[in-house]
Amino acid sequence: MTSKLRERYRAELRAATLAEARELIKEEGYEGLTLRKLARRMQCSPMALYTYFADKQALLTALALEGFKKLAKRHEGTSRREPLSALRKIMLEHIAFAEENATEYRILFLSPQPETKKTRQEILENNPAFRVLFKCVQSCLEARVFRGDAFAISTIVLTAAHGAASLLITARFPFGSHRRYVEGVIATTLSGLQNRTIHAI
């Protein structure tokens, strides 16, 4: 097998593993996901999967990164809008992504994670969706729409969008119109941010 074919095979197996892992999580939850069980479903040896993923956490991290990239892709084109309108669009897209991709969203934001403290730089480097959000907030600051620390404001915006998304996909609240609820959360968040200086957290 040539190196090019070998590389293609590895990429295909990795993609198939991630797809099968999503299905397994959908059926059995995070607790039911193990590399050995995944190997049985894929009719391959566990060692074949350990070549790509050292453990379950490495697999979840890969799934999360894939999800972040998908979410970032949904944000493409927002930079051409007026800054506040672009930020509103990002929040809407974040919540829509959660509703349309509930399993991936749970992997991204609701799965147990090891308690490791990350720096701002690490978060920006490893989360392309947050990076787009952060740049949009910076544009809002440059346009004098907001005042304060860009990272803190970005975190607040993400918290609002994530809170709404989590409630919607876990059915923890008896909503009427999803659209009106989402628009209310976004409008209240952005209005509040415009009326105060947000300091670093």
Instruction: Encode pLDDT of 27-37 as tens digits.
Output: 887 788 888 89
Same fold, 1-53 and 63-198: no
Specify the CATH class of 63-198 in words. Answer: mainly alpha
pLDDT at 79 over 70: no
| Residue 76: predicted pLDDT | 76
| Residue 1: predicted pLDDT | 59
Phi, psi (deg, nearest 5) at residue 198: -100, 115
pLDDT at 70 over 90: no
**E-assigned strand segments in 113-164:** 147-148
pLDDT digits (tens, 9 = 90+) for 190-200: 999 999 999 99
Q: Can you state the angle between helices 56-74 and 83-100, rounded to 10 degrees? A: 130
Q: Does domain 1-53 have CATH number 1.10.10.60?
A: yes
Q: What residues form DSSP beta bridges with 2? A: none
Structure tokens at 73: 């892709």
Spatial separation of the C-alpha atoms in residues 78 and 42, rounded to whole Å: 39
pLDDT digits (tens, 9 = 90+) for 87-101: 999 999 999 999 988
Provide the whole-model pTM: 0.77
Q: What residues form DSSP beta bridges with 197? A: 147
Place of tokens 């991936």: 104
Give rounded-to-5 percent helix, strand, coil for the chain.
75, 0, 25
pLDDT at 17 over 80: yes
How is the chain split into domains, by residue range?
1-53, 63-198
pLDDT digits (tens, 9 = 90+) for 110-164: 776 655 678 888 888 888 889 999 999 999 999 999 999 999 999 999 999 999 9
